[in-house]
Amino acid sequence: MRRRVPGRSAVPSRRLAVAVMLAALASATASAADDDAALMSLGKTLFTVGAVPPCAICHTLKDAGSTGEVGPVLDELKPDAERVVTALKSGIGAMPSYRGSLSDEQMRALARYVSRASGGAAK
């Protein structure tokens, strides 16, 4: 039987607490990655077929397999997510506003997808 040493009895408890915290962090990171993958999937679906009209009709974006010739080539433009949301809400040039047809969550998903897929900043 081990004899308790004063001041040392908390060491195993601290190690356990650190292990539990690391496990929780790993779980949260995996959950965040799952959430990001779901957001990217939603954004791609909206880009290719979900938005009305779909972005892919007018824009070229390699990741989406789109070759539209009306709007800018997004792979070259590399817009950040904020710029995409602004364009979606307001419309720009021949592009209509999607304010009435997409929710804020859908616009954020679409913006994240476009910015990430084109190499822009996702924010």
Region label for 122, one of left (φ > 0), alpha (ψ between -120 and 50) or beta (otherwise): alpha
Burial of 70 per CB tally in 10 Å (0-12, 13-18, 19+): exposed
Q: Is residue 92's pLDDT more than 60? A: yes
Query: For position 37, what pLDDT does the model report?
Result: 87
- Please write the tens of the pLDDT for every residue from 46-72: 999 988 899 999 999 999 999 999 999
Q: Is residue 29's pLDDT more than 70? A: no
What pTM, to 2 d.p., does this model score?
0.72
Mean pLDDT calculated for residue range 85-97? 94
Query: For position 50, what pLDDT does the model report?
Result: 87
